[in-house]
Amino acid sequence: WKTLDDMDLAGKTVLTRVDINVPMENGVVTDATRIEKIVPTVKDIQARGGKVVLLAHFDRPKGKVVPEMSLGHVQDALAQALGCKVVFAADCVGDVAKAAIDAASPGDVVLLENTRFHAGEEKNDADLAKAMAALGDVFVNDAFSAAHRAHASTAGIAHLLPAAAGRLMEAELRALESALGKPVRPVVAVVGGAKVSTKLDLLGNLVSKVDHLVIGGGMANTFLVAGGTEVGKSLAERDMADTARAIMAKAEAAGCIIHLPLDVVVAREFRAGAANETVAVDACPADAMILDAGPATVAALEGVFTGAKTLIWNGPLGAFEIEPFDAATNAAARSVAALTKSGKLVSVAGGGDTVAALNKAGAAGDFSFISTAGGAFLEWMEGKELPGVAALM
Ligand code: 3PG
């Protein structure tokens, strides 16, 4: 794939696909991270003499015009982050979009309305892609976090214009390549979360790629059950036991060591501050549930992390959203952060919950790379081809 460095942008109108699908409450942006992350690309295009026209989706309006999902709500936050005027066009194609682009002064950024207001967007409709492409000279995709969607503005348009990756897309792809593509070994993957059933493809792919697979959260309970350990009232998918055993067998054949909790924090209620105790993994009382990994597990993980060169993380190790069941996630995250800071480990993390957990632990800032992607990060870790990236090849 090409980058901005390979493109001549002087005097060109640059259709730039970004992901500014940011959390919002009552029309106000509550986390501007994704907006801040596109700033380098926009500034770079401007510095090269290009006119920036932003294409983006917001939420899931399903092909209809839904005023609450208008990108107009993001206009001010965008202008603030970019430090320039942002002109908003009430459609992403046609005369309305063209007029806004033509009227914009050099240095202005044009923000086009939600691409998903058109039913053709999610169908990767050729006519819609053509109508978008007609508005510009070149296409830059900076939306790694939407690259798992084969949509008109992510994939279709890339075949119609000279196309390149933006700076964020470039950084995301390089980080993932260093973590799973051609990593320095040993490589550790930390995978947590509630259910094995939602991460089957992920686990199946990872065991053949990494040297150590740490399984945490509710998923670990399913693996414990599969190995004959009773977990009381814990969240566990008992019908997935055979699948978990198959993953363990595949890991063994591939020389990947699976790490499950050695000790666990159990409670009788799922609420913040619930009375709890730490027990050996095979001693969960029948009327209790596992809500976190214990300190012996964390100590063992620190040993694994210390021996590793590369780490990739998706999913918390316990019920991190309620205290004190965030302890193992916090301690493990801080250990990774410290090893990364001292130059001993390359660490990459992604996924909505994961980034929230690492932020809560105060560890995210020291990771080598934190992806802005949720679903796209997961699909990439699953070894799937991302249509938005493939279209840039
Ligand atoms: C995301 O928030 O992960 C991306 O913007 C993709 O959104 P989607 O899941 O609605 O396609």
- Of the residues 149, 314, 353, 379, which should be mutated to test ligand 1's pocket, given the most ligand atoms within 8 Å of the CB? 149
Q: Are 71 and 88 in contact (CB under 8 A)?
A: yes
Ligand 1 atom closest to 145 (CA) = 4
Is 195 one of the annotated active-site residues of the chain?
Answer: yes
**213 and 152 co-located in one domain:** no
Answer yes or no: is the C-beta of 114 below 6 A from any ligand 1 atom.
no
191-220: per-residue pLDDT in tens?
998 888 889 889 999 999 999 999 999 999
* Dist. CA 91–CA 188, nearest whole Å: 45
Tokens 């992806």 correspond to what residue? 371
> Among residues 133, 89, 141, 135, which one has the least CA distance to residue 111?
89
| ipTM field | 0.99
Is 34 one of the annotated active-site residues of the chain?
Answer: yes
Q: What is the pLDDT of residue 353?
A: 86
SS3 assignment, position 174: helix
Q: What is the pLDDT of residue 246?
A: 96
> Per the domain annotation, does 13 fall within a domain?
yes
Residues of the chain with pLDDT under 50: none
> Per the domain annotation, does 102 fall within a domain?
yes
**160 and 134 co-located in one domain:** yes
**86 and 139 co-located in one domain:** yes
Q: Are 121 and 358 in contact (CB under 8 A)?
A: no
161-184: per-residue pLDDT in tens?
999 999 999 999 999 999 998 999
Whether the bond into 162 is cis, omega within 30 of 0: no
Answer yes or no: is the C-beta of 145 below 6 A from any ligand 1 atom.
yes
Half-sphere exposure (CA, 13 Å, Cβ side) for 78? 26
**32 and 143 co-located in one domain:** yes
> Per the domain annotation, does 175 fall within a domain?
no
Q: What is the dihedral of CA 123, 128, 130, 131, to 10 degrees?
A: -160
Q: What is the pLDDT of residue 196?
A: 85
State the residue range of the domain holding 13. 4-170
Measured between alpha carbons, how far apart are the two ends of the chain, in Å? 5
**28 and 106 co-located in one domain:** yes
Q: What total number of domains does the chain contain?
A: 2
Cα(376) to ligand 1 centroid in Å equals 8
Predicted TM-score (pTM) of the model is: 0.93
Q: Are 21 and 146 in contact (CB under 8 A)?
A: yes
**198 and 329 co-located in one domain:** yes
Cα(33) to ligand 1 centroid in Å equals 14
* Dist. CA 64–CA 144, nearest whole Å: 24
> Per the domain annotation, does 387 fall within a domain?
no
* Dist. CA 176–CA 144, nearest whole Å: 11
Ligand 1 atom closest to 149 (CA) = 11
Cα(242) to ligand 1 centroid in Å equals 32
**107 and 213 co-located in one domain:** no
Q: Are 309 and 184 in contact (CB under 8 A)?
A: yes
> Among residues 266, 284, 280, 260, which one has the least CA distance to residue 196?
260
Angle between helices 167-176 and 39-47 (to 10 degrees): 130
* Dist. CA 177–CA 190, nearest whole Å: 17
247-305: per-residue pLDDT in tens?
999 999 999 999 999 999 999 999 999 999 999 999 999 999 999 999 999 999 999 99
**260 and 154 co-located in one domain:** no
Strand (E) or helix (H) holding 253: helix 241-254
What integer best gives the mean pLDDT of the chain? Answer: 96
